[in-house]
């Protein structure tokens, strides 16, 4: 896994995953309380104040209510990803929920990994190692990512390298590598995953990987596939027809909130949108198939 390395004198291994857990736990505690090792100066100034600590507690309480309802209804709770400068806090809270609730071989809470980020695979491998050591199941939603231009502008404004892969091809390659790793983990009963992709090549690779590791299409816990309603419907139909766990993602909310989301999804999947003629051809085939079936039934 590449998560251990030799110590300074080569006499023992450094536990990288364990060290990361300890460091992140202490950092989070210090950020909330303003106390702890290394907390002072600018770090202390950035810590949560008393009111913010109360709000954090309220957030955790509300999330527990949502998880409890998801458990009661036997559904998943998927925590979406945001900009990189929000993501560490989101992932810290999501990891806490996964550690608590993703037990008994089932993942109820899923964290989102954005494949267009250069460090996404390293973070995924780290979290897989954590769940293996701590005895819980990793819940993962894998997507490509929707804030490419914003992330690049933000990094440029700070004089930092972009956190995103430089090309769409590199993002595709990283998505497929992460998907393969997650499918292997599902086969080992260490993860449950939703692959959010409108890319036919990526879906075909994932299906082939499932077959290679002996995962049946409808395995649960297993691999789920998701596409946005109205996009790549031919993929959803083909997956569903093959017995795979295929879902349509339906945004719900006020128009002013939903439209920016849909526009980001369209931008994220621009290469797929350019192939919308294929969607029309496939939809035509499906309409003719259904019409033929209806005529047979009437006959």
Q: How many residues does the chain have?
A: 299
**Residue-level pLDDT at 43:** 59
**Residue-level pLDDT at 74:** 94
**Residue-level pLDDT at 94:** 97
pTM here is 0.80
**Residue-level pLDDT at 71:** 95
137 vs 39: CA distance, rounded Å: 33
Per domain, the residue ranges of the chain are 78-289
131-165 pLDDT, tens digit each: 999 999 999 999 999 889 999 999 999 999 999 99
**Residue-level pLDDT at 278:** 65
Q: Using DSSP bridges, classify how beta strands 191-196 and 138-143 pair: parallel, antiparallel or unpaired.
A: parallel
List the one residue out of 106, 52, 119, 62 whose CA is nearest residue 222.
Answer: 106
Q: What is the CATH number that goes with domain 78-289?
A: 3.20.20.220
Considering only CA atoms, give the Rg of the chain.
22
**Residue-level pLDDT at 233:** 86
- pLDDT lower than 50: segments of the chain: 1-14, 30-34, 38-39
Residue 262 host element (H or E): helix 255-268
List the one residue out of 102, 92, 114, 175 whose CA is nearest residue 139.
Answer: 102
Instruction: Write the CA distances from 99 to 59, 81, 118, 191, integer angstroms.
Output: 17, 18, 25, 13
Q: Using DSSP bridges, classify how beta strands 77-79 and 13-15 pair: parallel, antiparallel or unpaired.
A: unpaired
Instruction: Write the CA distances from 187 to 3, 121, 196, 244, 246, integer angstroms.
Output: 21, 18, 19, 15, 18
């Amino acid at each position: 896994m590449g998560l251990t390395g030799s110590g300074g004198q080569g006499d023992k291994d450094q536990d990288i995953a364990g060290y990361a857990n300890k460091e992140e736990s202490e950092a989070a505690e210090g950020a909330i309380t303003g106390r702890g090792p290394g907390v002072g100066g600018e770090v202390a100034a950035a810590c949560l104040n008393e009111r913010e600590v109360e709000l954090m507690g309220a957030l955790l309480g509300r999330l527990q209510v949502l998880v409890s309802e998801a458990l009661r209804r036997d559904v998943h709770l998927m925590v979406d990803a945001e900009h990189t400068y929000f993501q560490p806090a989101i992932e810290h809270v999501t990891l806490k929920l996964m550690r608590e609730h993703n037990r008994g071989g089932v993942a109820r809470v899923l964290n989102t990994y954005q494949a267009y980020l250069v460090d996404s695979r390293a973070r995924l491998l780290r979290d897989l190692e954590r769940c293996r050591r701590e005895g819980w199941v990793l819940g993962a939603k894998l997507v490509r990512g929707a804030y490419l231009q914003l992330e690049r502008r933000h990094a440029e404004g700070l004089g930092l390298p972009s956190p995103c892969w430089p090309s769409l091809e590199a993002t595709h390659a990283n998505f497929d590598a992460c998907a393969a790793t997650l499918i292997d983990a599902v086969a080992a009963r260490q993860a449950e995953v939703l692959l959010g992709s409108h890319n036919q090549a990526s879906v075909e690779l994932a299906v082939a990987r499932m077959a290679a590791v002996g995962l049946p299409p409808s395995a649960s816990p297993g691999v789920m596939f998701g596409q946005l309603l109205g996009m790549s419907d031919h993929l959803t139909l083909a997956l569903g027809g093959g017995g795979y766990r295929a879902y349509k993602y339906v945004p719900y909310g006020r128009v002013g909130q939903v439209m920016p989301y849909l526009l980001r999804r369209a931008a994220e999947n621009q290469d797929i949108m350019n192939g919308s003629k294929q969607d029309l051809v496939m939809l035509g085939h499906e309409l003719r198939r259904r019409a033929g079936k209806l005529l047979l039934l009437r006959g």
